[in-house]
């Protein structure tokens, strides 16, 4: 594992949940409204302290259904009126309706790269997830965020029995030091024991947090946070604060255990090859063990904007809806 030489302090690592930015029940369909709002919120969060509200759009390519490119160089005039100096964020996104179908149908997550179907699925999965990565980079660029797409497979990430074995973070560090916002994603990668597997965005976030040590981490999801049972259950209770102890075990702090059902049920969608909420909580707990606060909150809401801005670093306001996971000191 290569040592990360980073000259900048990372403020936040953000996970854009696949279910929050895509229409998960429609194959390869982006939730355009949510993605646009999330991109705007990220710009606002990164842009704290700037007196300029003007956006220098950076997507200068044509889009389907749009007759002209979103910006042209002649629109900018005096370039110094625009702010392109953002606080240091790293973005990682899930696949949602991109990639999961291809991976689950071909069994990429189980390995067996010597099988023709798995090899074809590996290619198909990467085509799908990199397509989504480009669209997210473009959405952020339209908000004036200097984003750079970075695919884990192409950047030398690999696994051993699904655990990260190799991850060259030098490209991520150089991008950050050069003023860019790296945008990584869940990906199909090579595995030295299984042949191949799926490396989830949640696992990537934990590895980045270990090496980059951000001030805080935010998971943007399609629900308000972590519940004691599936959120579709009318009796589901939002777990507002979870404490993680030295050995990685976690316990509910708010609401108090006496006021709720102590049995916490977590479900995983049948097509989700990355472990869903189970993986998310496990990885978030490992990040919290590092002394880094983790916020799990519904994307494209005022609650997620407050989390992204770092407004929840101390006491959690009663009117904030989400889950905070912290190390129990």
174 is in an annotated binding site: no
289 is in an annotated binding site: no
322 is in an annotated binding site: no
111 is in an annotated binding site: no
271 is in an annotated binding site: no
Structure tokens that stand for 123 in this block: 């290619």
How many CB atoms are located within 10 Å of the residue 69 CB?
12
Closest of 153, 151, 142 to residue 183, by C-alpha? 151
77 is in an annotated binding site: no
**What is the signed CA dihedral for 274, 275, 276, 282, rounded to 10 degrees?**
-120
Q: What are phi and psi of 92, to 5 degrees?
A: -130, 135
Q: Return the HEC string of the chain.
A: CCCCCCCCCCCEEEEECHHHHECCCCCCCECHHHHHHHHHHHHHHHCCCCCCCCCCCCCCCCCCCCCCCCCCHHHCCCHHHCCCCCCCEEEEECCCCCCHHHHHHHCHHHCCCCCHHHHHHHHHHHHHHHHHHHHHHHHHHHCCCCEEECCCCCCCCEEECCEEEECCCHHHHHHHHCCCEEEEECEEEEECCCEEEEECHHHHHHHHHHHHCCCEEEEEECCCCEECCCCCCCCCCEECEEEECCCCCEEEEECCHHHCCCCCCCCCCCCCCCCHHHHHHHHHHHHHCCCCEEEEEECCCHHHHHHHHCCCCCCCCCCCCCEEEEECC
d(CA 274, CA 272): 6
How many CB atoms are located within 10 Å of the residue 316 CB?
18
State the binding site for ATP: 96, 201, 222, 276, 280
State the binding site: 95-96, 100, 201, 222, 276, 280
State the binding site for substrate: 95, 100
């Amino acid at each position: 594992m290569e040592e990360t030489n980073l000259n900048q302090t990372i403020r936040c690592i953000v996970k854009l949940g696949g279910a929050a930015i895509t229409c998960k029940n429609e194959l390869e369909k982006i939730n355009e409204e949510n993605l646009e709002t999330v991109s705007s919120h990220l710009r606002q969060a990164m842009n704290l302290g700037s007196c300029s509200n003007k956006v220098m759009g950076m997507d200068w390519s044509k889009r389907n259904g749009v007759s002209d490119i979103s910006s042209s160089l002649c629109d900018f005039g005096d370039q110094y009126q625009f702010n392109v100096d953002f606080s240091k964020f790293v973005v990682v996104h899930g696949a949602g309706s991109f990639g999961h179908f291809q991976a689950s149908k071909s069994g990429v997550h189980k390995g067996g790269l010597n099988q023709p179907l798995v090899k074809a699925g590996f290619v198909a999965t990467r085509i799908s997830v990199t397509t989504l990565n480009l669209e997210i980079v473009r959405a952020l660029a339209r908000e004036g965020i200097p984003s750079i797409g970075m695919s884990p497979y192409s950047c030398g990430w690999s696994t051993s029995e699904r655990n990260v074995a190799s991850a060259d973070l030098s490209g991520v560090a150089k991008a950050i030091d050069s003023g860019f916002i790296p945008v990584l994603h869940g990906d199909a990668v090579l595995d030295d024991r299984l042949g191949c597997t799926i490396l989830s965005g949640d696992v990537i976030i934990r590895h980045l947090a270990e090496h980059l040590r951000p001030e805080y981490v935010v998971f943007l999801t399609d629900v308000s946070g972590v519940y004691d049972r599936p959120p579709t259950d009318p009796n589901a209770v939002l777990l507002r604060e979870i404490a993680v102890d030295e050995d990685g075990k976690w316990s509910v702090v708010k609401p108090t255990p006496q006021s709720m059902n102590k049995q916490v049920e977590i479900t995983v969608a049948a097509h989700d090859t990355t472990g869903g909420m189970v993986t998310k909580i496990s990885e978030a707990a490992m990040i919290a063990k590092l002394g880094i606060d983790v916020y799990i909150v519904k994307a494209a809401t005022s609650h997620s904007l407050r989390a992204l801005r770092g407004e929840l670093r101390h006491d959690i306001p009663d009117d904030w809806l989400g889950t905070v996971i912290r190390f129990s000191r």
